[in-house]
Structure 1
Amino acid sequence: MALLRLNHLSFGYNPHRLIFEDISFAVHPGEVFCIIGPNGCGKTTLIDSILGINQPQQGTIEVGGIRLAQLKPREFAQHIAYVPQSHTKTFPYTVLDIVVMGRTYATRGFGSPDSSQRQRALESLDQVGLTGFSERLYTELSGGELQLVLIARALTQDASIMVLDEPTAHLDFRHELMVMEIITWLVKEKGLTIVMATHFLNQAFYLENAEVPTRVALMNQGKIEAIGTPSEVITKNTLKDVFKISSTTGTTDEEGIQRKFIVPLKNLR
């Protein structure tokens, strides 16, 4: 059974102008489902709908076979964790305080996190490579470190699905690779299901090269143009039609492993 299913979903801030229309797909356990497409095609708006922020004008969303609208906040948190594209650092909480917030849904009333919840947060920090960061002030972290903390917070939630909106948008090359390595580990070793919106098409190839079950949904002008593996969807022809660019694909054979990639060549507009 699909963990997440969208059935003929449509949404618009103005009822006479839809941002996306008639979106249907299913996300299966233990896969990465990448949503790609040009700026303004509706990726983030679609992610916000999956998170329950946007109420669809038409269609339904099901999580674990239950309609999203029927889930209470605590139940929703058990199914879906979220890593935002950006985050404003306002108060100098410790890193551990931020990560343990992933267990808020499991804390009753005005209670405080117990020792087991704090231990779970420490384990998540270890899993994203931030052992020893627990007492650091999160307002003093670099962008890459902060993104890893937010992934640790989502991991602490122990949800079955993790939704990431442009998780490497503001990161340098090294931290982008670290995030992709963690995503690979989460799927292969933890069996997590990932829904990820991204502008970086080679990230889908990275996952495919790493033998992570990966599918891509190509959005354009509020519609899904194609769904399939990265190799099936990210091609010279689709990039020409959707992104209006000329591109070429290639492979490397480093360390005895073949890896596929795509390179943009020129703008066709």
Structure 2
Amino acid sequence: MFRLGPKDWEIAEDVMAEIGISHLAHKLWGQMSGGQFQMVLIARALAGRPQIMVLDEPETGFDFRNQLIVLNLLESLAKDHGLTIIMNTHYPAHALRISTSALLLHPHQPPQFGTTQKVITAKN
């Protein structure tokens, strides 16, 4: 059985504080909202000190305010910590807001990859 050491607890507490979820530290997952649980999953991933995070629609399940909180967090992690974030989204405005590169997939056209501003257009 794996047991967390003092350094592991310190990392977990630091990550929770950094992303603003320290208040969830002693809450059971069954008592959390979907959005709270999503933030805990992001914190869990960050505790491993990754260089790259791959996220599947990380803003899904949040109201508009909390979508912005997640987007701001991801943008901060990328800019301030050098973390590479690969995420898919069904919200073009979200990609335009925080992404530097975009890959657009369409079933009847070739994939398009480039800067977000050039790929995410009104035509596309």
Question: Scaled by the length of structure 1, what TM-score is found?
Answer: 0.44
Closer/same/farther in 2, CA of residues 151 and 123 from structure 1, 3 Å limit: same
Shift of 1:194: 0.4
2-structure distance, mates of 1:192, 1:222: 33
Report the number of matched residues: 124
How far off its partner does 1:115 sit? 1.1
**Inter-partner Cα distance in structure 2 for 1:205 and 1:141:** 30
- Point out which structure has higher relative CO (alpha carbons under 8 A, 6+ apart): 1
Match of 2:113 in 1: 227
Residue 153 (1) aligns with residue 39 (2): no
User: Is the CA contact 1:180–1:203 (under 8 Å) kept in the aligned structure 2?
Assistant: yes
Structure 1 residues not aligned, in runs of 5+: 1-109, 209-213, 239-269
Distance 1:224 1:202 in 2: 22
Larger Rg: 1
Which string of whole-angstrom CA distances, capped at 9 and with x for unpartnered residues, describes residues 3-53 of structure 1?
xxxxxxxxxxxxxxxxxxxxxxxxxxxxxxxxxxxxxxxxxxxxxxxxxxx
The answer for the alignment partner of 1:167 in structure 2 is 58
**Runs of 4 or more above 3 Å deviation:** none
| Aligned mate of 2:4, from 108, 113, 118 | 113
Unaligned runs of 5+ in 2: none
Q: Residue 123 of structure 1: which of 5, 10, 14 is its match?
A: 14
Shift of 1:224: 4.8
Secondary structure in 1 matching 2:23: coil
In structure 1, what is the equivalent of residue 74 of structure 2?
183
Map 1:56-95 → 2, pairs under 5 A: none
For the Cα contact (< 8 Å) 1:217–1:224, is it kept in 2?
A: no
Greater strand content: 1
Q: Secondary structure at the match of 2:22?
A: coil
Q: Give distance in 2, aligned partners of 1:218 and 1:133.
A: 36
Tell me which residue corresponds to 1:236: 122
2:14, 2:108 → 1: CA distance? Answer: 40
- Structure 1 residues 186 and 112, CA gap change in structure 2 (3 angstroms): same
- Partner residue, 2:102: 216
TM-score by length of structure 2 reads 0.92
Q: Distance in 2 between matches of 1:115 and 1:234?
A: 45
Give the match's secondary structure for 2:11.
helix
The change in CA–CA distance for 1:224 and 1:168 in structure 2 (over 3 A counts) is: farther
CA distance in 2, matches of 1:112, 1:133: 21
Q: 1:28-47 to 2 correspondence within 5 Å? A: none
More helix by share: 2
Superposed CA RMSD: 1.5
Report % sequence identity: 35
